[in-house]
C-alpha cells in the first residue's frame, strides 16, 4: 500500500512538473478550475530555498549540487528538488520564483515568490542574509509596490521553513548547549510574532515546518559513526516542536479564518530513518550516511582546493541516500518525506 501511495505521489509529481514545463494549456485550465490560481509564498532557510543566495558565496551553486535535477547547480541545497518543489507540485503549480529573479517580468510571478535563504533563521545567524523578519519585510514591500495584490495574498498559501540554523548558531556562539531551553522559548515567541505579521498582511493559510530531529543529521552524529541519532539534540527538537504546537494552536483558536498547519518533519524523518519496518524494505541502505561529503572534516560537499581539485566524494546512486550532504535530504529523501506528509498536505 505504502509503495502504491509513493508511486501515485511520484506520478502526480512527474505529471505536474512534466506538464507544467511543456506548458500544456489544457492541463493548466484544469488546475485553474480546481484551485484558482493559488500562489505560494515561501520564507525560511535551505530546506525551502530555490536559489536566493549569491552564486559567488554559496556551495548550493557549485557542483555536484543539482546533479539529479535540473542537471546542474540551481541554488538548491540538494542533488535535486527540495520541500518547496514538492509542496508546489502538490498545489498543482510550478515552484515559485526565487526573490533574486523577481525582475524577470510579470509572468514568473504568477506562482508566488520564494524569499527563503539557505543558512538563515528566525534571528540572525552566522551568514549575512535576510532573517525571517526581513524576508517578511521584503514580501510586504512587494505588496505595497503593487507587485502582489490583496487578492493574490488572500488566495495564497505561505510555507515557513525554520529548521535549526538558529540552534547551530547558538552552539557556535556559546560553545555549548547550556541555557538552550530559554533560547528555544524566545525563538518560538519571535516566530509567533512573524507568523502574526503574515496573518496581518492577509495570509490565511500557512504551512510551517516542525523541527526535524537535529540529532539525526549526519553533521551532528558523526561521533556515533552514523549508526544512531544524538538523543540530546533530538530532545531539543522535541521541545521546540512542543512549544510550536502550543503557539500555533493558540493562533488558530484566536483568529477566525486562519489555518496554520505544522509539517511534522520530526516524525517524517524518524519514520524513514529509524523505523525497523523500513529497514528491510527501505531503499536507503544506510540512511544516516550522506551521499556527498568532504574527504575529511575540513571539507564539505562541493569544496574544492586552490587547484580546483575535488575535496569531496559523491555516492554512486544519490537516490539510495536519504541525506544528500551532512544537513540536507536528497531529492529521493524529500520524496519520501513528502509521501510521509501526504495526509498533512491533503488537509491543507
Catalytic residues: 46, 325, 328
Task: State how far the alpha carbon of 165 is from the alpha carbons of 44, 110, 123, 146, in Å.
Answer: 10, 30, 9, 32
Q: Buried (b) or exposed (e) across 77-105, using 16+ Cβ within 10 A? A: bbbbbbbbbbbbbbbbbbbbbbbbebeee
Which triple of cell numbers denotes residue 23? Answer: 506548458
Pairing of strands 40-44, 112-114: parallel
Task: Tell which residue, 121, 216, 215, 129, has the closest CA to residue 166.
Answer: 121
Please check whether residue 302 is in contact with residue 292, taking contact to mean a CB–CB distance below 8 angstroms.
yes
Q: Which helix (H) or strand (E) holds 43?
A: strand 40-44
- Cβ atoms of 92 and 31 within 8 Å: the answer is yes
Is 187 in contact with 122 (CB distance < 8 Å)?
Answer: yes
Integer angstrom CA distances of residue 91 from 45, 85, 154, 240, 267: 21, 10, 15, 28, 22
Structure-block grid coordinates of residue 40: 505560494
HEC per residue, 173-216: HHCCCCCHHHHHHHHHHHHHHHHHHHHHHCCCEEEEECCCCHHH
- Indicate left, alpha or beta for 39 from its phi (over 0: left) and psi (-120 to 50: alpha): beta
Other Cβ atoms within 10 Å of 234 Cβ, number? 21
What is the DSSP track for 54-80? -TTT-GGGSTTTTTTTTSS--S-SSSS
Amino acid at each position: 500500500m505504502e509503495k502504491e501511495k509513493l508511486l501515485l505521489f511520484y506520478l502526480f509529481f512527474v505529471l505536474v512538473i512534466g506538464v507544467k514545463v511543456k506548458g500544456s494549456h489544457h492541463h493548466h485550465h484544469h488546475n485553474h478550475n480546481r484551485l484558482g490560481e493559488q500562489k505560494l509564498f515561501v520564507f525560511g532557510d535551505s530546506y525551502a530555498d530555490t536559489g536566493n543566495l549569491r552564486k559567488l558565496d554559496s556551495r548550493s551553486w557549485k557542483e555536484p549540487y543539482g546533479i539529479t535535477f535540473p542537471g546542474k547547480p540551481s541554488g538548491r541545497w540538494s542533488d535535486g528538488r527540495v520541500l518547496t518543489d514538492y509542496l508546489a507540485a502538490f498545489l498543482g503549480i510550478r515552484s515559485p520564483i526565487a526573490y533574486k529573479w523577481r525582475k524577470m517580468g510579470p509572468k514568473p510571478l504568477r506562482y508566488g515568490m520564494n524569499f527563503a535563504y539557505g543558512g538563515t533563521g528566525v534571528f540572525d545567524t552566522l551568514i549575512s542574509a535576510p532573517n525571517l523578519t526581513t524576508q517578511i519585510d521584503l514580501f510586504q514591500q512587494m505588496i505595497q509596490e503593487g507587485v502582489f495584490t490583496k487578492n493574490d495574498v488572500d488566495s495564497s498559501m505561505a510555507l515557513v521553513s525554520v529548521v535549526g540554523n538558529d540552534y547551530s548558531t547558538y552552539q557556535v556562539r556559546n560553545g555549548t548547549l547550556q541555557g538552550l531551553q530559554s533560547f528555544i522559548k524566545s525563538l518560538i515567541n519571535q516566530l509567533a510574532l512573524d507568523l502574526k505579521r503574515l496573518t496581518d498582511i492577509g495570509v490565511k493559510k500557512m504551512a510551517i515546518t516542525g523541527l526535524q530531529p537535529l540529532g539525526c543529521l549526519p553533521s551532528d552524529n558523526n561521533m556515533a559513526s552514523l549508526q544512531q541519532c544524538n538523543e540530546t539534540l533530538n530532545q531539543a527538537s522535541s521541545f521546540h516542536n512542543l512549544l510550536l504546537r502550543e503557539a500555533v494552536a493558540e493562533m488558530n483558536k484566536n483568529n477566525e479564518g486562519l489555518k496554520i498547519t505544522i509539517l511534522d518533519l520530526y516524525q517524517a524523518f524518524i519514520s524513514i530513518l529509524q523505523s525497523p519496518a523500513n529497514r528491510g524494505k527501505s531503499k536507503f541502505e544506510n540512511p544516516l550516511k550522506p551521499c556527498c561529503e568532504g574527504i575529511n572534516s575540513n571539507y564539505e560537499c562541493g569544496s574544492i582546493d586552490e587547484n580546483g581539485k575535488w575535496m569531496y566524494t559523491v555516492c554512486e546512486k544519490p537516490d539510495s541516500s536519504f541525506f544528500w550532504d551532512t544537513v540536507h535530504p536528497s531529492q529521493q529523501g524529500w520524496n519520501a518525506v513528502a509521501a510521509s506528509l501526504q495526509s498533512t498536505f491533503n488537509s491543507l
